[in-house]
Amino acid sequence: MSSYVLFLVLTAAVLHACWNLLAKKTKGKIPFIWLLYIASNILYLPFLFFQINKGNFIYSQPLLWFSLSSALLHLGYFIVLQKGYRSADLSVVYPLARGSGPLFSSIAAILLLHEPLKLGSTFGLFLIIAGVLIITGLSFKKENNSKIITGITYGVLTGLFIALYTFNDTVAVKTYGISPLILTLATNLFSAVLLTPFVLPQKDELKREIKMHKWIIIAIALLSPAAYILVLEALKYAPLTVVAPARETSILLGVFMGSKVFNEDDGKRRLIASVLILGGIVALSLS
C-alpha cells in the first residue's frame, strides 16, 4: 500500500469514527437520515460544479444503475445502523459493523473479482474474526446478553450492507471509471428521492430534528461523504482486499469514544479486541 493510499484510508477512518459518534448521539430515524442526504447534496454542490467545469461529469447508464443500487444499499445501511445505535452500545455495534464489513468484502473480492488470497490476508482475516468474537463479550452467565445479542445482530447486518455497497461501488469506480464524488452525490440524491414519500407525512418529526440536531446534521453531511469519497479514491490505486480492511482502523476510535463519551461497559476488553482487529487490518494491508 502506497503512502498516498494509506493517507486517504486513515483520514477516511478518522472522519468515519467522528460522524458515527455524532449519529449515536442523535439516535435519528428516517427523517434524520433524509435530512442528511439533502444537506450533503447541498453542501457538496460546489464540488460537483467544479468537476463539471473540469469536464469530468459524463452521464452514462452505468452511473445511473450503480448509483441507484448503491442508494438502496446505503439506505439499508443507515436504517439498520441507526436502529442498532438506538438499541445497543456504540462500542459493540460499531466495531462489529466495521469488522464484519471487510470480512464480507474480502470474501466477495476473492470469489467475484478474483483477487488473490495470500497467507497474510488469511492471517489478517483470522485476527479480525477473533477480535470481533472477543469484542461481543457474550457469556451464558451474563444478564445483559439480550442487549449484546441485539448489538451483534445489528452490527453484523450493518456489516453486510457495508460489504454489499463497497463491492457495488468498487466495480463502479474500478471497472467503469465513475468519479467517486459524482457516484456519492448521485447515490445521495437517489436516497433522498426514495425516502421522500416516507418523510412527507412526518413534518413534525422533521421540524424536531432540524431544531434539535441541525448542526449535527450539517457535520455528518460533510464528514460522511468525505470519508467515503476518500475510500473510493483509494480503491482506484489499491485492491479492495487491502482498502476495505485498512479503513477499519476507525474501530479503535469508535470503541474508545463509546467507552469514554457514553460510559459504556467493558471498555478495556473491547479495546483489546479492537487491537486484534487492527492487527488483522495491518496483516491485510501488508499482504
Joined grid coordinates for residue 226: 468525505
Specify the higher pLDDT residue, 108 or 161: 161
Length of the chain counted residue by residue: 287
C-alpha cell at position 105: 468484502
Distance in Å from the first CA to the final CA of the chain? 9
- Crossing angle, helix 267-286 and helix 119-136, to 10 degrees? 170
Structure confidence at residue 53 (pLDDT): 77
Q: What pLDDT score was predicted for residue 102?
A: 67
Confidence of residue 166 (pLDDT cuts 50, 70, 90): confident
In this predicted structure, the answer to whether residue 281 has a pLDDT above a threshold of 90 is: no
Residues 6+ apart with CB under 8 A from 3: none
pLDDT in tens, 188-246: 999 999 999 999 889 899 999 999 999 999 999 999 999 989 988 888 888 776 776 67
What is the radius of gyration, based on Cα positions, of the chain? 18
Q: Provide the H-helix boundaries in 44-179.
A: 45-53, 61-87, 90-112, 119-136, 145-174
DSSP characters over 97-132: HHHHHHHHHHHHHHHHS-----HHHHHHHHHHHHHH
User: With DSSP H G I counted as helix, E B as strand and the rest as coil, what are the percentages for the chain, rounded to 5?
Assistant: 85, 0, 15
Dist. CA 8–CA 3, nearest whole Å = 9
What's the CA dihedral at 119, 121, 123, 129 to 10 degrees? -150
Task: Say yes or no to pLDDT of 148 above 50.
Answer: yes
Only one residue has cell 471497472, namely 175
Positive or negative: CA dihedral 271, 260, 215, 85: positive
191 sits in which H/E element: helix 180-199
Cα angle 6-10-14, degrees, rounded to a multiple of 5: 170
